[in-house]
Structure 1
Amino acid sequence: MAAYWCNGEQTLLTNAEGNPAASTIANGIYVDGDDVYAAGYFYLPGGITHGVYWECGRMSTIQPSDSYGSTFLSDICLKNGLTCIAGRDGTIGNTIAQYWFDGDSYPLSDEGTVSQTDQMFTDGNDLYIVGRNDTMPGYWKNGSFVDLSYGGDASYVTALLKQGDDIYAAGQYTDVDKYVPLWWKNGEAHPLTVNESANIYGMWVNGEDIYLAGSSGVLFDRAAAYWKNGEQTLLTGKNNGCLTCVAAVGEHIYAVGFEQNAAGNTVIKLWKDGQPSDWTDGATPAYAEGYFIR
């Protein structure tokens, strides 16, 4: 069931009948005043998904186009007071990265590619969407793609932000036998040095300090970790731990993610200066996919 947490308090997102929306996952979240927006998908048997989003608790569905079998929504925000949603439309082997603005769809990639979107945000009238345009990782600015390929085809951009006039991005690339974290500033890549495979899912910039959030290890044998200027901090053992975000606020460092407990269920956690607090009870698996800080 799709849900969001505000300072540890859970709210289950509901379907059109007002019941908890079973078989749904929320990938992105946006907050405007007291209004909460979320976007994700509803999954059906056979691997088919329909994109769904919530505006102030009301769920709507984006049906697949006639040519494709699935829609998948990755993030949501407001642009000029109107809803803007990033996602993709398609099936295995042919997925079109696109966004929906005020109900209308706008393709970002070409037919016959395997393309996708991830995070999105607005800056004034500019719309930025992270994703993968066929084999090229990067981002779209107002529909024009910026290629951030590094180390061959197997590189990924998973986070993007703007500070002043500078554009920062973060992700990972494949180096022989492992994923290696890296970040970009205005298109210039800065790979990290790691001893084992690592994945990046969030980024924070605080002046000259670059924070990356993710995991260190492979598959479920991974630890929740963040890097500050390339120096790694582990927040868990290798208990299927992973971070979605890290943020430096004042003198404190906050991180959100999850860790698997003894019962085999993942628990959503907030770490403040390395000290964890549980946001779920561990009775069922829970995952943090997106975040919004204000």
Structure 2
Amino acid sequence: MSKSRSATPYIATLLSFVLFVFFTFYFVSCNLSERKVDFTKWKGEYVYDEFSILRITDVPNDEFGLDIMHGAIDDGTSITTADISVSELNEVLIDGQKVILQDEAIVSATKTTEHPALRFPKLSATELDSFLQNRKPRPFRVNKDHDVFVAGVEDCKAKYWVNGEAIIIHEGAEAKLIAATQNDIYIVLADCNSNRVEWYWKSGKTFQVDGDIYGMFVDGEDLYLVGQSRDGKPVLWKNGTQTYLMSSRGVATSIFVQNGRPYITIEDLALNPTKTGYWFNGSIYSLPRCKSPKAIFVAENIVYVTGEGWDWDKESVVTIKKNVSKYWVNGNEYLLSDGTTKYATRANSIFVNNSDVYIAGVFDGAACYWKNGVLNRLTDGNYAAYSNSIYIDNADVFVVGYESGYGDEGGAKLWKNGEKTQLSSSIHSNAFGIYIK
């Protein structure tokens, strides 16, 4: 009887051969093809260099988009986000080409440059990973319930601070006003040289209006801007559409929107007291002895306005007018100063919280704010200083402004409940607007 031969060795040999072929093919394929890298852990926005922002975001196909928000012109001159359209890539590749950014991207350019070709850096995934390892995302919505946005300028570079971290957005400009939504940041820009305020910046892109902007309010998806048209009349721009508020010369200085209805302060440049006050629903409501309304706030259908006005000098032998700072509540006026201070006194910004009225400004040359008419000094008056904007978050009082002086005494400031934070080391810096989200 012959012995039967077992099939086990043949099966084992065949299986080994199949596995060898499979893994050989797998490794060869991996080396020859481009593999996608999951950068989920890096999703966010990063300061790439002094003028650049790197953004990694979700895109509709569940891959990842990578935006460079700034580039350099071929001749090496800097170009800002205002001058380019964002270049977006829908995937990040490694191995193979190892390129996650194009060598060169042709993008749109504005009148500020004659160079339409922008050269972006070339990074490998390894280089990107190394770059991100040493950086944290810029704090956009870091705390979600409490992010402090401040708009300002440093050495003629428009910038904004988020929780104290500065981001430059445009050279040769100042960031005047700021607001933020869940997805976007809005900033009004003024030219450092001409002082024209005809641009606004929205999350990396700059837009121009036909006039100058003095007030901004973001309500949901709607952007409201107010100011003065090219022909010298007060105007409202809602999502880019311009509307004249009156036919005579004047300027719209601020805006507040409640339930989709805008309230807008107006200064009549012909000094007509019946046309200086605030605009609502097509009508102008004059304010008694109002010269220049600066800011407006509406709470529970009560209209609060602050600014400059006049009062009678009762001590004078001859009855004369004197300039004073004041505020109005549904047309009733309340004095903040009596017109006798040696140095400047002005009211610049207003915020209402639980029926308490907060106003930021300057009193006798010192930065300050008033609460229900009671003065609170933020500086001692040794150096000229002023506060430009105020925001109340719960019980905390945030004020931004400027103080002259040297070292940590000078430049852009943020005060929280009276405690000062230096936003910039440059004396040529200022903080103009604040928004808390």
Scaled by the length of structure 1, the TM-score of the pair is 0.80
Which residue of structure 2 lines up, in the alignment, with residue 66 of structure 1?
none
Relative to structure 2, which stretch is displaced further, 134-143 or 236-245? 134-143
Closer/same/farther in 2, CA of residues 172 and 54 from structure 1, 3 Å limit:
same
Matched, 1:160 2:296: yes
Matched, 1:223 2:366: yes
Which residue of structure 2 lines up, in the alignment, with residue 78 of structure 1?
218
Tell me which of 105, 114, 119 is aligned to 2:242.
105
Question: Following TM superposition, by how much is the alpha carbon of 1:223 offset from its aligned partner in structure 2, in angstroms?
Answer: 0.7
1:27, 1:73 within 8 Å by CA — same for their partners in 2? Answer: no
Matched, 1:141 2:290: no
Tell me which of 391, 394, 397 is aligned to 1:253.
397
2:389, 2:432 within 8 Å by CA — same for their partners in 1? Answer: no
Amino acid of the structure 2 residue aligned with 1:167: V
**C-alpha deviations, 1:165-207, integer Å up to 9, x for none?**
2111111223468642211111111123444151001122233
Which residue of structure 1 lines up, in the alignment, with residue 431 of structure 2?
288
Amino acid of the structure 1 residue aligned with 2:177: G
| Counterpart-to-counterpart distance in 1, 2:195 and 2:386 | 26
Matched, 1:55 2:202: yes
Matched, 1:198 2:345: yes
2:289, 2:310 within 8 Å by CA — same for their partners in 1? Answer: no
Closer/same/farther in 2, CA of residues 48 and 56 from structure 1, 3 Å limit:
closer
Closer/same/farther in 2, CA of residues 227 and 52 from structure 1, 3 Å limit:
same
Question: Following TM superposition, by how much is the alpha carbon of 1:293 offset from its aligned partner in structure 2, in angstroms?
Answer: 2.4
**C-alpha deviations, 1:99-151, integer Å up to 9, x for none?**
2222221111324x2x1122222212201222313324322223422211416
2:264, 2:279 within 8 Å by CA — same for their partners in 1? Answer: yes
Question: Following TM superposition, by how much is the alpha carbon of 1:285 offset from its aligned partner in structure 2, in angstroms?
Answer: 1.2
Amino acid of the structure 2 residue aligned with 1:275: E
For 1:6-155, list aligned pairs within 5 A.
6-13=162-169, 21-42=170-191, 47=194, 49=196, 51-63=198-210, 71-79=211-219, 81-90=221-230, 95-111=232-248, 113=249, 115-134=250-269, 135=271, 136-150=275-289, 155=291
**C-alpha deviations, 1:41-93, integer Å up to 9, x for none?**
3365xx47361111112011224xxxxxxx21123333562332212123xxx
Q: Secondary structure at the match of 1:292?
A: strand
Question: Following TM superposition, by how much is the alpha carbon of 1:237 offset from its aligned partner in structure 2, in angstroms?
Answer: 2.8
- Which one has a larger percent helix, Structure 1 or Structure 2? 2
Larger radius of gyration: 2
Closer/same/farther in 2, CA of residues 258 and 48 from structure 1, 3 Å limit:
closer
Query: Structure 1: which 5+ runs fail to align?
Result: 14-20, 64-70
Closer/same/farther in 2, CA of residues 82 and 253 from structure 1, 3 Å limit:
closer
| Counterpart-to-counterpart distance in 1, 2:403 and 2:374 | 21
| Counterpart-to-counterpart distance in 2, 1:263 and 1:293 | 28
Query: Structure 2: which 5+ runs fail to align?
Result: 1-156, 312-319
| Counterpart-to-counterpart distance in 1, 2:262 and 2:329 | 18
Closer/same/farther in 2, CA of residues 36 and 185 from structure 1, 3 Å limit:
same
Identity value in percent? 24
Closer/same/farther in 2, CA of residues 23 and 205 from structure 1, 3 Å limit:
same
1:76, 1:83 within 8 Å by CA — same for their partners in 2? Answer: yes
| Counterpart-to-counterpart distance in 1, 2:362 and 2:392 | 18
| Counterpart-to-counterpart distance in 1, 2:191 and 2:279 | 26
Amino acid of the structure 2 residue aligned with 1:82: D
- Which one has a larger percent strand, Structure 1 or Structure 2? 1
Give the number of equivalent residue pairs: 265
| Counterpart-to-counterpart distance in 1, 2:329 and 2:413 | 30
Q: Secondary structure at the match of 2:276?
A: strand
| Counterpart-to-counterpart distance in 2, 1:119 and 1:145 | 14
2:390, 2:434 within 8 Å by CA — same for their partners in 1? Answer: no
Q: Secondary structure at the match of 1:95?
A: coil
